[in-house]
Amino acid sequence: MKYGFQQNGMWPDVGFINNIMRIEKMANYKIIKRDGKEVDFQEEKIVNAIEKANQEIQDIYKLSDCQIHAIANNVKDQVAESLYTVSVEEIQDMVEKGIMQMRGYEVAQKYVRYRYTRELARKANSTDNGILALLERINEEVKQENSNKNPVINSTQRDYMAGEVSKDLSTRILLPEEIIRAHNEGIIHFHDMDYYAQKEHNCDLINLEDMLQNGTIINGTKIETPHSFSVACNVTTQIVAQVASNQYGGQSFSLAHLAPFVDITRKRIRAQVEEERRECGDFMDTEIITKVTERRLKREIVQGIQIIQYQLNTLMTCNGQSPFVTVFMYLDEVPEGQIREDLAMIIEETLRQRMQGVKNEKGVWITPAFPKLIYVLDEDNIHEDSKYWYLTEIAAQCSAKRLVPDYISAKMMRELKKGNVYTCMGCRSFLTVEESQKNPDGSYKFYGRFNQGVVTINLVDVACASNGDMDRFWEILEERLELCHRALRCRHERLLGTPSDVAPILWQNGALARLKKGEVIDKLLYGGYSTISLGYAGLYEMCVRMTGKSHTDPEAKPFALAVMQKLNDKCAEWKAAENISYSVYGTPMESTTYKFAKCLQRRYGIIPGVTDKNYITNSYHVHVTEKIDAFSKLKFEADFQKLSPGGAISYVEVPNMQQNISAVLQVMKYIYDNIMYAELNTKSDFCECCNYDGEIRIVKDNAGKLVWECPNCGNRDQDKMFVARRTCGYIGTQFWNQGRTQEIAERVLHLSNE
């Protein structure tokens, strides 16, 4: 059953739609308590609460037993019919409304007072309850918050416990009430509140070149310039782990910064080979010495990349997960000649090892979530007669099997970034090109810069609040953007005054800067050294509510672009006034997509095509259910990617392409000519019960909950299956909440193997 618009463009009768959905939907008797625990709905608790209020009033005003049970039964029906798992607060609202409908005004008054009294008592220990639920592994919201964190293990729980305390402090003390209220209602999303109490920033580009060439300090130990490629790789992984433990977002480094150590190793190996031959009395044949040297060098490159691959997948940072890190592969980042040839060798080995994967505890080769890989397409590797075309072919094979690398078009990026080509910070956050930020040689500076944080506006809520009135929409958008501005200022001001001593690896020892001990980081928060991001979500649903059409429709696209331009104009206005580099950012929502959807449904009900899903669309993306071919999708989204200078990524959903690499290469060529940053979403699954390595599917269980099931043996135990899916720019492997799971289930293919 489709719940869209009628062919004449008019809204269908909402009552009719709800009746159909009531018939189709299986009963859902689960609720989410205040501590995040998902439990069974208990009708008798509603009856008891109303009876307590009933006992406190005169007999003449009391509700009858039949009325009380009718109210409870009506709430039960609403819970069963809900498209998502409702919260305790929502149930209390239903009860209150039900009492009023029975004209039990005096009972309602007592019920509200009782509810308020309980809330005051509850505030004193809500954080305690949340932590205890977390420790007992029954906090559903936290368990499904991050698809790359395992909430069972101690280190992750320790991070989540600290996060609960941070959120409590932020909610009660650190953030203004209007920001908290808007966040809780899903009007905006104040990202990473669980790290806000500490003065930590979001994501960054590590200045690995400076740290390797000029040395650094890790845990008080001086690390000098490495004298071999493998040691440089080892030091790199230690730097990555240290950086990850002192921030909460993603980080990126470039393989180009490791390339100089290949020739250092080559010279050392050559000297060893020559010495060995002299000691053995062998003929000093230059050609033989070169062949032996290059063979041993190749082995060291293999070992070095293995160090990166295994270290980054086995290290556990203080935030309870492997480092969220992106590896950048761009040939033209180094000069032509030997160093570029060496970089090509590193890139090739990185791709080949990633294509192989890593072994899980059962000894099965699987797809790791990290490091994320980005491969730059340029003139020297995009055509069949290009010098490095062979690398592009390997990249295509790797994407078809392991979902990475993702692709940056050097051609398109130069057009958008003043001739520059550089990596994002983590999955999609891009630094802006700033005239004030240049290296001594006059080139633009990117490595060492960072992002201060993100606040996302819910565009769907703006549209729904305006009730489809265009003038009112622009008024509300203006108000909400200023609310976001105030929230972003909170992020910025929280970082002001931070001494460099809180994270020496970042601020003193080269990852981001080399400040003095005791020096504050304030100067890095202004003048474009760092960015701060205005995120946005739900451009598609916003257009449907305001125009009755998808933003892919020629009649609706101008409105969508106008909204995007408005976001950019506000960022420019704020930047000019404050010397802070605000930028528009295509938010990679994970758990927030579910939260926003639930908030919209609670306030506005089920609006076909707008609020009838358990998720809303990431940033500017074409809706996951919309049928569109890969090339049309990329071309369309390119216009919106241009208006997300602070970061965005597009994708195409594809089937298993391992036997159709030519089609993958065709998509890559199209990316090069049409869009700056894009990826291919394929599948990489494994069932431990029957060794099935095809696609694990999503089905509904008897309670109507979406679960993962092996189509071969029927296994539904998530602990006995491996599922890798692109979540929002990066790969997720720890499963997802119901909203994101529904979004994954409903994705249509944009490319076929036919």
| Mean pLDDT score, 468-472 | 97
- Which residues, listed in sequence order, are joined to residue 456 by a DSSP beta bridge? 189, 535
Structure confidence at residue 84 as a pLDDT band (50, 70, 90): low
Q: For this structure, is 451 an active site residue?
A: yes
d(CA 654, CA 253): 28
Q: CB under 8 Å to 79, separation ≥6 — which residues?
A: 28, 29, 31, 41, 86, 91
Question: What's the total number of domains in the chain?
Answer: 1
Q: CB under 8 Å to 467, separation ≥6 — which residues?
A: none
Among 333, 590, 653, 743, the active-site one is 590
* Closest C-alpha to 50, from 120, 97, 119: 97
Instruction: Look at residue 363 in the predicted model and tell me its pLDDT.
Output: 86
Amino acid at 137: R
Tokens of 244: 């990850």
Instruction: Look at residue 282 in the predicted model and tell me its pLDDT.
Output: 83
Q: For this structure, is 585 an active site residue?
A: yes
Q: For this structure, is 203 an active site residue?
A: yes
CA 565 to chain CA mean position, Å? 23
In a domain, 711, yes or no: no
Among 170, 254, 322, 451, the active-site one is 451
Structure confidence at residue 319 as a pLDDT band (50, 70, 90): low
* Burial per residue of 362-383, b for 16 or more beta-carbon CB atoms within 10 angstroms, e otherwise: eeeebbbbbbbbbbbbbebbbe
In a domain, 79, yes or no: yes
Following DSSP, what letter does each residue of 109-132 receive, concatenated? HHHHHHHHHHHHHHHTTHHHHHHH
**Contact criterion met (CB below 8 Å) for 403 and 651:** no
Q: For this structure, is 484 an active site residue?
A: no
Helix (H, G, I), strand (E, B) or coil at 246: coil
d(CA 422, CA 410): 9
Of the given ranges (17-26, 359-368, 414-423, 664-673), which has the lowest mean pLDDT? Answer: 17-26
**Residues 76, 78, 80, 84: is their CA dihedral positive or negative?**
negative
Q: CB under 8 Å to 229, separation ≥6 — which residues?
A: 258, 261, 262, 264, 265, 300, 301, 304
DSSP state of 614: S
Q: Rg of the chain over CA atoms, in angstroms?
A: 28
Instruction: Look at residue 314 in the predicted model and tell me its pLDDT.
Output: 83
Give the number of other Cβ atoms within 10 Å of residue 7's Cβ. 6
Q: Ranked by mean pLDDT, which of 188-192, 356-360, 593-597 comes out on top?
A: 188-192
Higher per-residue confidence, 181 vs 736: 181
Where is 158: in which H helix or E strand?
helix 154-169
Helix (H, G, I), strand (E, B) or coil at 509: coil
Instruction: Look at residue 12 in the predicted model and tell me its pLDDT.
Output: 41
State the burial class of residue 95 (Cβ atoms within 10 Å of its Cβ: 0-12, 13-18, 19+). buried
Among 147, 202, 207, 500, the active-site one is 202
Structure confidence at residue 1 as a pLDDT band (50, 70, 90): very low
Q: For this structure, is 458 an active site residue?
A: no
| Mean pLDDT score, 207-218 | 97
Higher per-residue confidence, 322 vs 104: 104
Q: For this structure, is 653 an active site residue?
A: no
In a domain, 70, yes or no: yes
Whether the predicted pLDDT of 536 surpasses 80: yes
Determine what percent of the chain is predicted with pLDDT higher than 90: 67
Higher per-residue confidence, 638 vs 245: 638
Q: For this structure, is 202 an active site residue?
A: yes
> Model pTM?
0.82
pLDDT tens track for 697-723: 999 998 888 999 999 999 999 889 989
In a domain, 734, yes or no: no
**CA angle 586-589-591, nearest 5°?**
170
| Mean pLDDT score, 381-392 | 98
| Mean pLDDT score, 146-166 | 68
Whether the predicted pLDDT of 431 surpasses 80: yes
d(CA 264, CA 287): 19
**Contact criterion met (CB below 8 Å) for 541 and 610:** yes
Among 36, 729, 732, 739, the active-site one is 729
Of the given ranges (335-349, 483-497, 638-652, 699-713), which has the lowest mean pLDDT? Answer: 699-713
State the burial class of residue 411 (Cβ atoms within 10 Å of its Cβ: 0-12, 13-18, 19+). middle
Higher per-residue confidence, 230 vs 317: 230
| Mean pLDDT score, 423-440 | 95
- Which residues, listed in sequence order, are joined to residue 706 by a DSSP beta bridge? 700
Whether the predicted pLDDT of 594 surpasses 90: no
Whether the predicted pLDDT of 144 surpasses 90: no
Q: 405: cis peptide before it, omega within 30°?
A: yes
**Residues 496, 176, 171, 617: is their CA dihedral positive or negative?**
negative
d(CA 515, CA 507): 6
Determine what percent of the chain is predicted with pLDDT higher than 70: 88
In a domain, 48, yes or no: yes
Higher per-residue confidence, 387 vs 723: 387
**Contact criterion met (CB below 8 Å) for 646 and 534:** yes
Instruction: Look at residue 592 in the predicted model and tell me its pLDDT.
Output: 87
Structure confidence at residue 130 as a pLDDT band (50, 70, 90): low
Residue carrying structure tokens 């490495």: 226
| Mean pLDDT score, 517-545 | 98
Whether the predicted pLDDT of 201 surpasses 70: yes
Range of the domain at 37: 14-124
Among 84, 585, 615, 730, the active-site one is 585
Mean pLDDT for the chain overall: 89
Instruction: Look at residue 734 in the predicted model and tell me its pLDDT.
Output: 64
d(CA 430, CA 365): 32
Half-sphere exposure of 748 (CA within 13 A, CB side): 11
d(CA 404, CA 371): 9
State the burial class of residue 339 (Cβ atoms within 10 Å of its Cβ: 0-12, 13-18, 19+). middle
Among 233, 427, 721, 728, the active-site one is 427
| Mean pLDDT score, 326-347 | 98
Following DSSP, what letter does each residue of 683-724 receive, concatenated? -EEEETTT---SPPEEEE-TTS-EEEE-TTT----GGGEEEE
Instruction: Look at residue 9 in the predicted model and tell me its pLDDT.
Output: 40
Whether the predicted pLDDT of 76 surpasses 70: yes
pLDDT tens track for 287-305: 999 999 999 999 999 999 9
In a domain, 265, yes or no: no
Instruction: Look at residue 504 in the predicted model and tell me its pLDDT.
Output: 97
Instruction: Look at residue 665 in the predicted model and tell me its pLDDT.
Output: 98
d(CA 553, CA 543): 10
In a domain, 78, yes or no: yes
Instruction: Look at residue 129 in the predicted model and tell me its pLDDT.
Output: 67
Among 211, 345, 425, 542, the active-site one is 425
Whether the predicted pLDDT of 27 surpasses 60: no
In a domain, 27, yes or no: yes
Of the given ranges (146-150, 275-279, 285-289, 398-402), which has the lowest mean pLDDT? Answer: 146-150
Where is 537: in which H helix or E strand?
strand 530-537
Among 28, 254, 429, 674, the active-site one is 429
Structure confidence at residue 345 as a pLDDT band (50, 70, 90): very high
Tokens of 672: 């090069």
